[in-house]
């Protein structure tokens, strides 16, 4: 009987020892709730890290954009400053040009009128002398003096007189107002001059107004008959 009892104790001890060995060999198992919590924590940490990375990148991009914006604003301010300077310079240039043109007009008027002031003075003196004297000779002398003063004024202004009488007709400096027959003046020659022409340097101011000869009347009639016969 004691033998049976001891045998039972040995069998129970063996079972316990085998269970302990199996327990040591089995991996340690965490409770299901803790594993889920750890997994969620790891996911949150990963999401947070990604969010922090994206936020850092976004902040860097915003900082770069702000820097570029500041640079652009600085360039715009500089461009506006240059634009205002250009406008001010253009306005000053316009005022200077207007002033220069005014001076040119004044100087031109002065240079043109001045030579004729002496002519006007002599003309005034000639009129006063004519009122006190009935002598034709005195009046003629006064007119001759005035004419000489006019010639001098023209010379000072580099104005030359175009006298066309007796010269071949030149359309560049003559303007024909009529055509007449002449037995003494060849055809195409200025027969009479109605008014003189004037030239300033090489520029024509006024053409001479002339009457042009068409040659003898008989020659003209013969030429007309010849044309009719053809």
Return the SS3 of 31: coil
pLDDT at residue 53 greater than cutoff 90: no
The whole model's pTM is what? 0.50
**pLDDT at res. 97:** 93
Q: Which domains does the chain have, with CATH numbers?
A: 158-230 (2.30.22.10)
Q: How far is CA 133 from CA 137, 142, 179, in A?
A: 10, 12, 43
The mean per-residue pLDDT over the stretch 46-64 comes to 79
183 in Cβ contact with 217 (< 8 Å)? yes
**pLDDT tens digits, residue range 79-117?**
999 999 999 999 999 999 999 999 998 888 888 888 888
**pLDDT at res. 125:** 82
Q: Which residue has the higher pLDDT, 4 or 175?
A: 175
Number of helices and strands in the chain (H, E):
4, 6
pLDDT at residue 39 greater than cutoff 80: no
């Amino acid at each position: 009987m004691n033998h049976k009892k001891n045998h039972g104790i040995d069998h129970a001890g063996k079972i316990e020892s085998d269970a302990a060995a199996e327990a040591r060999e089995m991996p340690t198992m965490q409770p299901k709730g803790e594993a889920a919590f750890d997994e969620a924590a790891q996911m949150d940490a990963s999401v947070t890290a990604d969010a922090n990375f994206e936020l850092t990148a976004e902040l860097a991009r915003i900082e770069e954009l702000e820097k570029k914006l500041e640079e652009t604003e600085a360039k715009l301010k500089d461009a506006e400053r240059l634009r205002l300077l250009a406008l001010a310079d253009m306005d000053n240039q316009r005022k200077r040009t207007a002033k220069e043109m005014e001076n040119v007009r004044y100087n031109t008027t002065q240079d043109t009128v001045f030579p004729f002031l002496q002519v006007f003075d002599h003309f005034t003196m000639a009129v006063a002398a004519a009122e006190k004297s009935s002598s034709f000779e005195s009046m003629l002398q006064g007119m001759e003096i005035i004419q000489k003063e006019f010639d001098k004024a023209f010379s000072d202004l580099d104005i030359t007189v175009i006298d066309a009488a007796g010269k071949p007709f030149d359309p560049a400096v003559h303007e024909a107002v009529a055509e007449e027959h002449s037995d003494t003046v060849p055809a195409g020659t200025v027969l009479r001059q109605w008014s003189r022409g004037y030239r300033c340097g090489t520029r024509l101011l006024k053409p001479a107004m002339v009457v042009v000869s068409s040659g003898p009347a008989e020659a003209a009639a013969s030429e007309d008959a010849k044309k009719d016969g053809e």
